[in-house]
Every structure is written in C-alpha cells, then in structure tokens.
Amino acid sequence: MHHVGIEVRNLERSISFYQKWFHYQVEGRFILQDESIVFLKYQDSIIELVENANLNSHRSDLHMAFSIEDIESLLVDMKKEDVRIIEDVITLKNGWKNAFIQGPDAEWIELIQFT
C-alpha cells in the first residue's frame, strides 16, 4: 500500500494534529482540480489529506491504526488537549492494548500497543 487518503475540512488543523500526536511531517503540497492536497509522511507511512470544506460528518467504518509504545501516557496527554477518546484502553487476550480516538474531522483512529 502506498498511502491512506482522508478528506478533511481544514488542512492546517489536520496537519497539526497528525504532526503533534503521530510525528508526521509535510512531504508535499499541491492543488489538483481546485482541491488542496497535502501528503504527510512518517517513516514508511504516508497520509494524504484532501481539503473539503463541505465534508459530510457521517462516520464510516474505515479507520487507521497506529502502533504506539506507551498507549496510556499518550491518552493522558490527548485527554489534556481535549482529543475525543471513543474507546478507552482495553487489553486483548493476546496482551496487546488498544483504544480508539477521533481525529479533527471525526475520523476514527485506532491506537495499538504491542507487547
């Protein structure tokens, strides 16, 4: 897979969110057919943000998952910044921990801590 694309209402807000919490950096910006597009990159992972001010806020079952080293500490920091926690940390039978948060445009983001 090359990248995951997400429609967002506000590019700068979404860029800040993914930079702050997941260490992504802007890899490129351009306009294609009147759409502002930004590619963010962290290690081998790429997220494409496409600005759409008229984005419908209905949630789909599509989500992204990020591997996190210390899920509890990250969630404490996110709660302080009013990031919406959809499902708090649970420990799966295999020992992994996971949680779900909501991104700036109501996208679901899964956090996973492997043992």
- For residues 49 and 67, membership in a common domain is answered with no
Residue 29 belongs to domain with CATH number: 3.10.180.10
Query: How close are the terminal C-alpha atoms of the chain, in Å?
Result: 25
- pLDDT value at residue 61: 60
pTM: 0.81
**Token duo for residue 11:** 């590019």
**Structure confidence at residue 2 as a pLDDT band (50, 70, 90):** confident
**Helix (H), strand (E) at residue 99:** strand 97-102
- 48 and 86 inside one domain: no
What one-character-per-residue DSSP string does 47-61 give? EEEEE-TT------S
Closest C-alpha among 49, 43, 37 to residue 4: 49
Counting the structural domains of the chain, the total is 2
Structural domain range at position 103: 62-115
Q: Same structural domain for residues 40 and 72?
A: no
* pLDDT tens profile 35-88: 899 999 999 999 999 998 777 765 556 788 999 999 999 999 999 999 999 999
Q: Minimal CA–CA distance to 104: which of 4, 1, 20, 3?
A: 20
Q: Does residue 103 share a domain with residue 78?
A: yes
